[in-house]
Structure 1
Amino acid sequence: MKYQSRTTGSSKRDQILDAAERAILQKGVSATTIEELISEVGVSKNGFFYHFQDKTEMIEAILDRNLEIDKAWFADLISRSQEVYKDPLEQFLAFLELLAEEMSGMPEGHPGCMTTACCYQDRLLNNSVRQVASDILLQWRKISLEQLNRIAANHPASFDVDLEELADMLPALIDGSIIFSRVVVDQSILPRQIRLYRKIIKNTFECAVL
């Protein structure tokens, strides 16, 4: 879900992936053609097929790259929150605030989620691509659930709550907010929803912090 466009200094392979990601986020998988990508990047058709067997393999490469970007992003945000706070609840609240700040820092708003864009046209994709897309979303669940389990071990919940469902709420509201904000042209929706989730977490576990 982190959007990171690579530009100068990247390989032709990365340039193709960058161009494809931009095009897919703008108009979808089926409307993105190999011809337009090789024209934009300045490679031959043989040059494209040197890097990718077909468009589906290219999409899998984009998602694989996004999975690694997200892993590094999560690790950085969690590390930054843990440097400041010792309590797991305070750390997760700080993580969510950092997340909201980064989403607010995109001048034109979040351009979209590749996972969501691909899932809309999953009939065009093979099982391998669907698995990578699933791994990206399940990574959000894993990280959030790990943090919530640590919180629950130290702070009583104010009501009976399923921690896995609470963990799933974060990627669900982020993907939904990306779509909502683009449709109504309101870039503030995504960071506001993350901060609302932060309030829910804070109120769920009885501890007056931050």
Structure 2
Amino acid sequence: MPRDGTATRTKIMDAAQQMILQVGLMGTSIERVIEEAGVTKSTFFYHFRTKHDLAAALIERFADEDLHHLTDALTKAEQLSRDPLQQLLLFVGLFIEFAEQLEEPFPGCLYASYCYQSGAVSKEMMDEVEKMMRFWRAQVSRKIEEVQALYPTRIPIDREEVADHVLTTFEGAFILSKVMNEPKLAAQQLVQCRNYLELLFKAD
């Protein structure tokens, strides 16, 4: 019976992702990934023809995981409440709960790593990053539209701009936490984001 190479492929990808988050894509070499993953050169090239193929597989996996995190959180929030405003606040709250459990700063975001070194990344990979950013915007914006149908805002807003603000806070909170080496800082900033959303709509 032939061996399933999924575990080996995952080990290579995990080693490469950790390295990219630490030293960037340009600082990550195939030789270092092979050494860190503890595989042979032939094994690496069996799974990935080039470093570009590895980078593409990583961003595809990261985007898929991100998609599931987003949709799972929205689904759970909608199951916990029928009120759109509460759903929006619960959605952010679920990420706060995740961030509060971190004992070390979140290791980083591949989206940010690829953007910082976009010259070393193909257009197809950057298109994948953009697609996920737009998906986040669309999903959060849709929820804000549902909230606006029931609750007036205290100030005029553009729902896509507010959605972008939420995404910016999510991304920036984890970056700031890593830079400052303060694991709980991400959760604190997400709390501020939730406070802003709660204050934005007149729920009384």
TM-score, length basis structure 2? 0.92
Q: Give the CA deviation at 1:98.
A: 0.9
Q: Give the CA deviation at 1:139.
A: 2.3
- The corresponding residue for 1:87 is 83
- The corresponding residue for 1:117 is 113
Q: Give the CA deviation at 1:35.
A: 0.6
Aligned match for 1:38, one of 9, 34, 41: 34
Q: Distance in 2 between matches of 1:107 and 1:62?
A: 25
- The answer to whether the 8 Å contact 2:92/2:194 transfers is yes
Q: Does 1:57 align with 2:63?
A: no
Please provide the CA RMSD for this pair. 1.6
- The corresponding residue for 1:186 is 182
- The answer to whether the 8 Å contact 2:102/2:184 transfers is no
Amino acid at match of 1:106: L
- For 1:9-28, what aligned pairs fall within 5 Å after superposition? 11-28=7-24
Q: Give the CA deviation at 1:94.
A: 0.8
Aligned residue for 1:11, secondary structure, equals helix
- The answer to whether the 8 Å contact 2:89/2:198 transfers is yes
Q: Distance in 2 between matches of 1:42 and 1:141?
A: 39
Aligned residue-pair number: 200
Q: Distance in 2 between matches of 1:51 and 1:142?
A: 35
Aligned match for 1:135, one of 131, 137, 162: 131
Q: Give the CA deviation at 1:44.
A: 2.3
- The answer to whether the 8 Å contact 1:19/1:41 transfers is yes
- The corresponding residue for 1:145 is 141
Q: Distance in 2 between matches of 1:131 and 1:78?
A: 24
Q: Distance in 1 between matches of 2:90 and 2:106?
A: 21
Q: Distance in 2 between matches of 1:93 and 1:51?
A: 42
Aligned match for 1:156, one of 147, 152, 157: 152
Q: Give the CA deviation at 1:153.
A: 1.4
Structure 1, unaligned runs of 5 or more: 1-8
List per-residue Cα deviations over 1:54-96 (Å, max 9, x = no partner): 1122111111111111121122212221222100000110111
- The answer to whether the 8 Å contact 1:56/1:129 transfers is no
- The corresponding residue for 2:70 is 74
Q: Give the CA deviation at 1:10.
A: 5.2
- For 1:97-108, what aligned pairs fall within 5 Å after superposition? 97-108=93-104
- The answer to whether the 8 Å contact 1:16/1:37 transfers is yes
Q: Give the CA deviation at 1:176.
A: 1.8
TM-score, length basis structure 1? 0.89
List per-residue Cα deviations over 1:127-147 (Å, max 9, x = no partner): 111111212222221221111
